[in-house]
Structure 1
């Protein structure tokens, strides 16, 4: 079950609750994840026999959430539930999904950046450093929230395994592109929910052009409530990574 509410600072939050049983003790357990602008918090609460925990009681176990005036409202929207499920997967998994965004020099909004239908030869080279290009349909390993049955999230993606962790990259130019939708909602749905995004900036060859592109880049161009780390990249040289 998923809920939305406002904290004491009138800042929106989401609460996801799952009831299951502890395998070792057979005691019912309430597991909850609180999503706030500052990040996600998780708790597990044993449920006393013949007791029912209210949503407000569960919420009160999170720091500074015990005095929320109004109880949160349950979410019934399938789209929001789907987005929260993606977040839950990301929070509870040892596997990871990262966004990779192709950007042309001079672009200054996420609408422009995510409307790049294709990348470039250099961008493809960069992707090959990150992992292997895989076909999504029929994929039987970690999928990172991507569709593996009907090509609904594109036909291909980039995947790798690093120190035992599976990583699926949400590549902007491999996600579905719409000529009629300037906001590229399907691309934003995945990339906007990634905590880490890598921004590849297509620039000229000169060092001055690359430095100018990095200096001009503004992280606020990538609008997301969940992205915490943005990496900029403009040339395939390992020691030239910079971060925002």
Structure 2
């Protein structure tokens, strides 16, 4: 959903120089694979990859793109989110009700064609995806062959994924009303940041999500709404966080 911003940031990112050092082992592996791809792309197309297929920005870079709210931004209640908020950055005060277990989520799936040796990349935005049945490279099309694709798990891009259920605050619920809830999806370093019972200020993008066919028939709905988290701000800090902040300040 943020592919446009990933591409712009990747374009503006400076190239690595001789002083660049790799600290994490995962970063070293990613850089080694990227250097291998660049060497293959520098050769003739007959000896390696299809040049027309570019490597996605999420697969090349270890960073992510998020939007942080302005200091002057005001929070809204959950009942103020309307249909015109779809696709927009919203900020609301809420209460964390439940937090699910952190699970890996695939972002980019990499396939290797056994016929032409080309690498095929598939971007995954939803919870499910359909693998391609044949190789879409130019070489296989010119030879009129349907190349068999083999998934390369080592070259795929994964991230941490966590689903959080939030509820509107008590002061936002009218007399006699039922508190409303909302599903929040957190990824990367935003996982394991909040716990049930905490009051937070949530900033994220309000998105619709297509439901699988079985859930459509059961819930009589084709989509459900969720918030893609970009920033968490806790209203109260825990004891361990306060001690860590004091130690860092001293």
Q: TM-score, normalised by structure 1?
A: 0.22
Which structure: greater helix fraction?
A: 2
Q: Which has the higher contact order (CA 8 A, sep 6+)?
A: 2
Q: TM-score, normalised by structure 2?
A: 0.21
Q: Look at both structures and tell me which one has the larger radius of gyration over its CA atoms.
A: 2
